[in-house]
Structure 1
Amino acid sequence: MIDIKLLRDDPETVRASQRARGEDEGVVDAALAADERRRSSLTEFERLRAEQKSMGKQVAKAQGDEKHALLTRTKEIAAEVKSLQADADAAQTELDGLVRSIGNVVEPGVPVGGEDDYTVLETVGTPTEFDFEPLDHLALGEKLAAIDMERGAKVSGSRFYFLTGVGARLELALLNLGIAQAVEHGFTPVITPTLVKTDVMAGAGFIDKHSEEVYRLADDDLWLTGTSEVALAGYHADEILDLSDGPKRYAGWSACYRREAGSHGKDTRGIIRVHQFHKVEMFTYCRVEDAVEEHRRLLDLERDMMAKIEVPYRIIDTAAGDLGGPAARKYDIEAWVPTQGRYRELTSTSNCTTYQARRLNTRERDPGGGNGTRTVATLNGTLATTRWMVAILENHQQADGSVVVPEALRPFLGLEVLRPV
């Protein structure tokens, strides 16, 4: 959630952010109006409460008609106080809802527009070419006895799958490579819960507008997470952190679940867009002043992982309308997928500034030495997911249907080449 102080002091910046996202800027004025009603009601409430206390002393001394008049006025004030409290509470509820509906204020320089309005920042490597007709990842996975979509659908329905044999080993190798890199760079590995409470899911910003995309266990009031970012965002909820020695960095390993609502007909073949997958996700708590630098650091770690799996890729600066509510800026890394003739997203890293931490009440002591606290910043970034297998299989395939294993993965996989069964 954005800072209410920013909304009051600089509403035009918030309006500009809403316009960049392609969202309603009128919500800014509605929120300011609700805030004004709340503050006005509270001011009058406090004035009448003071009068109420003063009249209590007068009633104790008064007699006769004067006492009767004072008692009448006391009852009137009590009714007014109750009404003003109700008005203030209603305005507060409206304000909270409006502020929560406003996406994070985007960073300067973020491209304006929607999904197709990104800016390409860097392209690394050239698209892979073959002197034979390449197979797509599913055909390769079936030849290798690595991916079984048919039985996945039989057991669980569409967009589910089994990874078998070298497919299971390849995914585990990827995830372990991600964890190894995270540990090397000071991240604490964490295996996170994949079911979280509503306040945590809402605090992370995942059910404000797209709750239909998330699996929910209504009887238990729990949600299945689509990324360990959610659980890690809630890890330090209602805590005061000590960041005097630098950011707190975690690497969450979890299964992830997504309903893929609205994706009917998109990527129905293979494991690009599925309901369940595994992922290693970096998550950082840091001081607000360090957030931009930390964001670049997470992007560099993702670059390192791309180099290790040896695929051509590009980095894009995601447009404001494609950010999602919590992110102020997001960089995606997209790998070349030969049989599709285009780049597809493998990783992303987002700077959520204070948006999540404010909702989840995660703070630090005033670094200036005061007695107060202030909200911290949170960031996240992906180090490995099941989808990476698509890029690895397609880019490293050979004419006989075998796949050369990238060198960095070999110690974790125990194989140099994956061969057809």
Structure 2
Amino acid sequence: MMNLELIRTNPDAVKRAAAAKRVSVDIDELIELDQKSRRATEHLDGLRHTLKTVSRQVGAGGEGREQAKALGDEIRVAELEQRNHRGRLDTLLSQVPNILAPEVPEGDDDSDNLEIRRWGTPRSFDFPKRDHLELMLDLGMVNLDGPRQFAGARSYALTGPGAMLELAVLRYAMDTVVAKGFTPVIPPVIVREQALFGTGFFPGSREETYQLPADDLYLVGTSEVGLVAMHSDSILSEEQLPIRYAGWSPCFRREAGSAGRDSRGLYRVHQFTKVEQVVICHNDPVVSEREHYGLLGNAEAILQGLDLPHRVALACSGETGLGQYRKHEVETWMPSRDSYSETHSCSTMLDFQGRRSRIRYRSGKDKIFAHTLNNTAVASPRILVAIVENYQNADGTVTVPEVLRPYMYGLEVISK
């Protein structure tokens, strides 16, 4: 949720952010509703004060019963008016995007992202390269036909060395960030609506979210939801900050509107597993910027440990989500696509989630909304696409990256 005081005092900045993010929200109507709501509150407070005065006179044996009754009726009308204004105001507020960092470039989609740096050199093959799906099917690493009969399109089962490789890369990522001071967490993945609203996924991403209507619950698309929601409606001590979590969870996305897009293989699927980094820190842009680049560095370190060529790009305004102030995307080289493709996303939210989730900390006598950040440590099976394709051999085998071999019981090459 955006700070209403910021919208009141600097509406043009909020309008610019909405336009840059391609978000349609009427800021002028919001400001007008805010004024009406405040006037209605003042009027209601005045009526209640008058009623209190009149009621004391009635209680003391004085006259005024009819006036008190009339005031009570007027108060009920004023309360309804206030609720209506506040309800519409809250609806509009939930649609207002966060402001953007000054360095974020203007643009519509990922083609307008600003490349920051590259690491590693894409491999040149002296044999006909194969895509990950062909390799994994041939090596018994994945089963598609069985799962798609009972679970539908984009379903899959990792089998044998495919399952072991996923567990290996997830554990490697978890060990990497835990060594940097992050606390491992396996949070709930079935949550109430408020958790998704509080983290900014609702109302905008409902069509992407699987619902369990009988229980009024939802499946999350990232453990960020549970990690942030663990501290909703809480007041932290300043000494607790920063809180750094590494969440391990299955994730679910409907991929609504993506029919036919990246439908081959394991790049875009409905169920995946992720290690997600989340930070809750002081409400200080300098602090959260430092945390942002720390998270980004962790993701890059994991890819460098895997010896996977990748690039880092600053997301343009049109690629920056509702609650994001700054976002970097990390794209890993995938030979079959002959391109870098997104595998990680690193975001600073400022106090957007802190306000929506009501996460505060004490600083002296003040209670301050916390800043939050998030970044993928690793997501599978998408990372498997990059590993299998970059480490394939001419004979159809796949070399196991050296850092993953301890997690694969020393296995060096996946073969038939």
State which drifts further: 237-246 or 247-256: 237-246
- State the Cα deviation string for residues 22-45 of structure 1 (Å, max 9, x = none): 1225x2111111111110011111
Does the 8 Å CA contact 2:58/2:65 hold for their aligned counterparts? yes
Give the equivalent residue in structure 1 for 2:94.
Answer: 100
Which one of the candidate residues 239, 243, 262 is aligned to 2:257? Answer: 262
Question: Partner of 2:55 in structure 1?
Answer: 56
**Offset, 1:57:** 4.3
Q: Paired residue for 1:283?
A: 278
Q: Tell me the equivalent position of 2:21.
A: 21
Contact 1:144 1:418 in 2 (8 A): no
The equivalent position to 2:70 in structure 1, one of 76, 99, 110, is 76
Q: Deviations over 1:65-95 (max 9, x none)?
A: xx4xx44443332222221111111111111
Distance in 1 between residues matched to 2:66 and 2:140, nearest whole Å = 86
1:267-346 aligned at under 5 Å gives the runs: 267-289=262-284, 290-346=287-343
1:420 CA drift (Å): 3.0
Q: What amino acid maps onto 2:397 in structure 1? A: S
SS of equivalent to 1:288: coil
Candidates 360, 377, 398, aligned match of 1:383:
377
The answer to whether the 8 A contact 1:125-1:312 is kept is yes
After superposing the two structures, state which structure 1 stretch, 249-258 or 102-111, moved more. Answer: 102-111
Q: Corresponding residue for 2:31?
A: 32
Offset at 1:294?
Answer: 0.3
TM-score, scaled to structure 2: 0.95
Gaps of 5+ in 1: none
**Cα distance per residue 1:100-123 (max 9 Å; x no partner):** 011222222212222232111111
Letter in 2 for 1:326: G
Q: How far apart are the structure 2 equivalents of 1:297 and 1:117? A: 24
C-alpha contact (below 8 Å) 2:402/2:412 kept by paired residues:
no
Provide the C-alpha distance between the structure 2 equivalents of 1:42 and 1:139, rounded to a whole number of angstroms. 65
Give 1:60 shift: 6.1
CA shift for structure 1 position 416: 4.8
Distance 1:163 1:415 in 2: 20
Instruction: Tell me how large the CA RMSD over aligned residues is.
Output: 1.6
Residues 216/245 of structure 1: CA separation in 2 closer, same or farther (3 Å cut): closer
- Displacement of 1:207 after TM fit? 2.2
Corresponding residue of 1:112: 106
Report percent identity of matched pairs.
Answer: 36
1:115-164 Cα deviation digits (max 9, x unpaired): 23211111112222101110000011112110112222123111011111
CA distances 1:302-345 after superposition (whole Å, capped 9, x unpaired)? 11011011111111111222222222111110011111111111
Structure 2 CA distance for aligned equivalents of residues 418 and 161 of structure 1:
23
Tell me the secondary structure at the aligned position of residue 2 of structure 2: coil
TM-score between both structures, scaled by the size of structure 1:
0.94
The answer to whether the aligner puts 1:413 opposite 2:408 as a matched pair is yes
Say whether the 8 Å CA contact 1:113–1:319 is kept in structure 2.
Answer: yes
**CA gap 1:50/1:221 in 2 versus in 1, 3 angstroms:** same
**Do the aligned residues in 2 keep the contact of 1:407 with 1:416 (CA within 8 Å)?**
no
Q: Does 1:250 align with 2:245?
A: yes
The answer to whether the Cα contact below 8 Å between 2:119 and 2:309 also exists between their aligned partners in 1 is yes
Does 1:374 find its partner at 2:373?
no
Structure 1 residue corresponding to 2:82, chosen from 88, 100, 104: 88
Query: Matches of 1:355 and 1:276 in 2, distance apart?
Result: 27
Q: 1:154 to 1:60 in 2, by over 3 A?
A: closer
CA drift at 1:210: 2.0
Q: Tell me the alpha carbon deviations over residues 202-261 of structure 1, each in whole angstroms, 9 at most, x when there is no partner.
A: 111112122011100000011011111111111111111223264111100011111110
Moved more, 236-245 or 113-122: 236-245
Cross-structure match for 1:230: 225
Distance (Å, rounded) in 2 between the aligned partners of 1:209 and 1:75: 45
Distance 2:325 2:296 in 1: 15
Gaps of 5+ in 2: none
Q: Distance in 1 between matches of 2:240 and 2:224?
A: 23
Rounded to whole Å, the distance in 2 between the matches of 1:242 and 1:404 is 48
Match in the other structure for 2:41: 42
Contact 1:280 1:384 in 2 (8 A): yes
Is residue 312–residue 328 contact of structure 2 (8 Å, CA) maintained in 1?
yes
- 1:190 correspondence with 2:189: no
User: Does the CA contact (< 8 Å) of 1:149 and 1:270 recur in 2?
Assistant: no
Tell me the distance in 1 between the aligned counterparts of 2:167 and 2:51.
69
Q: Are 2:199 and 1:204 equivalent residues in the alignment?
A: yes
- Determine if contact 1:405/1:415 at 8 Å carries over to the other structure: no
Alignment of 1:92-171 (within 5 A): 92-115=86-109, 116-171=111-166
Residue 220 of structure 1: SS of its match in structure 2?
coil
* Residue matched to 1:347: 344
Contact 2:21 2:321 in 1 (8 A): no
Provide the C-alpha distance between the structure 2 equivalents of 1:381 and 1:113, rounded to a whole number of angstroms: 22
Q: Is the 8 A contact 2:161 2:414 kept in 1?
A: no
